[in-house]
Chains A and B, each alone.
Chain A
Amino acid sequence: MKVSLATEMAPPFVLVAHFFIAGIFFLILSGLLLFSMGSDILGAMVSSSLAAFSHLYLLGFVMMIIFGAMYQLLPVVLEAPIFSKDFAYVQFYMYVLGLVLMVSGFHFDTLHLLIPYGAVITYLAMLIFCVNVFITFYRLEAMSLVGWFLLIATVFLFVSVSLGLVIGFTLGHGLFEIEIDAWIKAHVMGTLGGFVMMIVMGVSMVLIPMFSLSHSFKDSWIKAALCIYPLGIALGMITFVFGLGWGMKGLAALFMVVGIGLYVIQMGVILKQRVRKQNDYWVKNIVFAWMALSLSVLSLVLYMVQGDEFLAILSGSLFFFGFLLSFIVGHIYKILPFLIWYEKFSPLVGKQKVPLLHQMVHTKIADTQTYFLFGAVMIQAVGVVMQLPTLFLVGSFTLIVSLILVAFNAFYAFNFKIKENGK
């Protein structure tokens, strides 16, 4: 008898694998792009090379993994099936096409006109995702705390990509008269702060207790974060789009900082209660991620006070690589082996010896990768602060080595075979 994950409503493995494999591929590609950018990143906050890299990294890796994880986790969290699996496949292929066009447009001057076409296709792909998620939620009878995070995150995604589409049209054809820089900031805030961050917060409340075996903790901190944080993001986006004054910006920043602070405290509370005390590559990655997130927020606040552009770049660098990359890579080590194990080995349970999940990760490579990543983030940060392009390049090179090791471990898990001696 074939039994599915958690409920009989979970999507097939091959669907989630599409997103995970593509995510790891684009991660490596974005690492190479970062390296080829060299010192460009230290120059200006808004540039086409930075746009190429940030879209490839954020859309190709971060959001690709999030979409895959959402299709896997939503049925578990909501105890309801995804509205349409076909929509998810259509979304994937449109998304990859749109992404490739858009990033090519940003990266190669001669292909600049591709940006709006890529943006439209990417937008439609994300719209399919939003519709899929909204209808899934619409059919629910009750909402959980995590459900609220995921729903609000998807609303932010819808609004942010709509802004992105307007920006794309304006850059390509000058269709709208908008303050481009301010709209880009609202778009970035909504996507990173609204969608990505809200998803991370919600998903953390499922994954962190589950993998650390943490129980009986109070969740009042995250409930407070749910009330405060999205308000800050929404207010921040409104101030950029409508050009509101510093008072509103300050209030938005305060809500965001407090919201993230509450989230980090909640994570600390959960980890304090954990049963599994082993500090493996997962624990190291997530703790480093939260430290990097805290420093990123601190840098952003300093940027808002002082206005030095390097502080914004430092904040972005810590958020992208210190927080997002560590958090996602840490969880790739948990989720990817599980998905592969489920597909390859779960039918063999009771018939022959099957591996444990941690055996499907090459521990030494994972530990080495983790330290390379930490080193890369710190070297890059020092490079940004001291305005030393060579140092930043060294950090980028270290990051690429780390990413290759992630890919090696993904390959290791995909090809894992039970040895003759049963080990």
Chain B
Amino acid sequence: MMTEEQVYEAISTVIDPEVGFDIVSLGLIYGVKVDEKNNVHVTMTLSTKGCPLHELIQQWTRESVLKLEGVRSCEIELVWEPAWNIGMASEEVKKELCG
């Protein structure tokens, strides 16, 4: 069975082209669930509601998960609560962005 760690690793190949970091390090992935039949459910947000890459980032995320061998389906749930903030990002991202 697929593990959540494997899914996170796959999603971490998705880079936000504006910020230059992967969306896992940015803290945009709120949760990953994998059921016994390897159906994946990803809960994620975006750094801003006006993001013009809205749909594209969801598509890249879905594609990155579906590339994993054995995954049957991938559902993306986009949420705005809780709103993203820099505290959700990795230490490396915080250091790079905030100086």
Closest A residue to B20 using CB positions:
A356
Q: Which of A8, A213, A357 contacts B47 (CB 8 A)?
A: A213
State whether A210 and B50 are in contact (beta carbons under 8 Å apart), knowing that A216-B83, A277-B98 are contacts in the complex.
Answer: yes
**Residues of A close to B19: CB separation below 8 A:** 213, 276
State whether A350 and B63 are in contact (beta carbons under 8 Å apart), knowing that A3-B55, A8-B55, A216-B83 are contacts in the complex.
Answer: yes
The B54-99 residues at the A interface (CB cut-off 8 A) are 54-56, 59-60, 63-64, 67, 83-86, 97-99
Verify if A1 is at the interface (C-beta below 8 Å from B): yes
Verify if B1 is at the interface (C-beta below 8 Å from A): no
**Residues of B close to A341: CB separation below 8 A:** 17
Verify if A250 is at the interface (C-beta below 8 Å from B): no
**Residues of A close to B17: CB separation below 8 A:** 338, 341, 345, 354-357
Q: Which of A5, A10, A350 contacts B64 (CB 8 A)?
A: A350
Q: Which of B50, B59, B60, B97 contacts A213 (CB 8 A)?
A: B97
**Residues of B close to A304: CB separation below 8 A:** none
Verify if A358 is at the interface (C-beta below 8 Å from B): yes
The A190-231 residues at the B interface (CB cut-off 8 A) are 206-207, 209-211, 213, 215-216
- Report the minimum CB–CB distance from B46 to chain A (whole Å): 10
Determine the distance from Cα of A350 to Cα of B57 in the docked complex, in whole angstroms.
12
Could you give, for residues 275-291 of chain A, a 1 whenever the CB lies within 8 Å of some chain B CB and a 0 otherwise?
Answer: 11110000000000000
B18 lies within 8 A of A357 (CB): yes
Verify if A142 is at the interface (C-beta below 8 Å from B): no
A76 lies within 8 A of B50 (CB): yes
A209 lies within 8 A of B83 (CB): no
B84 lies within 8 A of A215 (CB): yes
Verify if B48 is at the interface (C-beta below 8 Å from A): yes
Determine the distance from Cα of A275 to Cα of B93 in the docked complex, in whole angstroms.
10
**Residues of A close to B59: CB separation below 8 A:** 1, 3
- Report the minimum CB–CB distance from B3 to chain A (whole Å): 22
Determine the distance from Cα of A215 to Cα of B87 in the docked complex, in whole angstroms.
11
A350 lies within 8 A of B52 (CB): no
Q: Which of B15, B51, B83, B99 contacts A215 (CB 8 A)?
A: B83
Verify if A305 is at the interface (C-beta below 8 Å from B): no
B50 lies within 8 A of A77 (CB): yes
**Residues of B close to A358: CB separation below 8 A:** 20
Determine the distance from Cα of A216 to Cα of B86 in the docked complex, in whole angstroms.
11
Verify if A346 is at the interface (C-beta below 8 Å from B): yes
Determine the distance from Cα of A382 to Cα of B6 in the docked complex, in whole angstroms.
63
B86 lies within 8 A of A213 (CB): yes
- Report the minimum CB–CB distance from A341 to chain B (whole Å): 6
State whether A278 and B50 are in contact (beta carbons under 8 Å apart), knowing that A213-B86, A350-B63, A358-B20 are contacts in the complex.
Answer: no
The winner among B47, B54, B67 for most chain A CB atoms within 10 A is B54
**Residues of B close to A363: CB separation below 8 A:** none
Closest B residue to A350 using CB positions:
B63
| Residue total for A at the interface (Cβ-Cβ under 8 A) | 35
Verify if A7 is at the interface (C-beta below 8 Å from B): yes
- Report the minimum CB–CB distance from B52 to chain A (whole Å): 5
**Residues of A close to B50: CB separation below 8 A:** 76-77, 206-207, 209-210
- Report the minimum CB–CB distance from B17 to chain A (whole Å): 5
**Residues of A close to B83: CB separation below 8 A:** 215-216
- Report the minimum CB–CB distance from B44 to chain A (whole Å): 16
Q: Which of A275, A338, A346, A355 contacts B97 (CB 8 A)?
A: A275
B85 lies within 8 A of A215 (CB): yes
- Report the minimum CB–CB distance from A357 to chain B (whole Å): 5
State whether A276 and B97 are in contact (beta carbons under 8 Å apart), knowing that A76-B50, A210-B51, A338-B52 are contacts in the complex.
Answer: yes
Determine the distance from Cα of A210 to Cα of B86 in the docked complex, in whole angstroms.
13
A277 lies within 8 A of B64 (CB): no
The winner among B52, B83, B98 for most chain A CB atoms within 10 A is B52
The winner among B18, B19, B51, B99 for most chain A CB atoms within 10 A is B18
**Residues of B close to A356: CB separation below 8 A:** 15, 17-18, 20
**Residues of A close to B63: CB separation below 8 A:** 350
Query: What are 24 contact pairs spanning A and B, CB under 8 A?
Result: A1-B59, A5-B55, A6-B51, A6-B53, A72-B52, A207-B50, A210-B50, A210-B51, A211-B18, A213-B47, A213-B86, A213-B97, A275-B86, A275-B97, A276-B98, A277-B98, A338-B17, A338-B52, A342-B56, A346-B56, A350-B13, A355-B17, A356-B15, A358-B20
Which A residues lie at the B interface, using CB under 8 A? 1, 3-8, 10, 72, 76-77, 206-207, 209-211, 213, 215-216, 275-278, 338, 341-342, 345-346, 349-350, 354-358
Known: A276-B19, A355-B17. 4 other contacts (CB 8 A): A7-B54, A210-B50, A216-B83, A356-B15
Question: Can you list the 9 inter-chain pairs with the closest CB atoms, starting with the nearest?
Answer: A275-B86, A6-B54, A277-B99, A206-B50, A210-B48, A5-B52, A356-B20, A6-B52, A3-B55
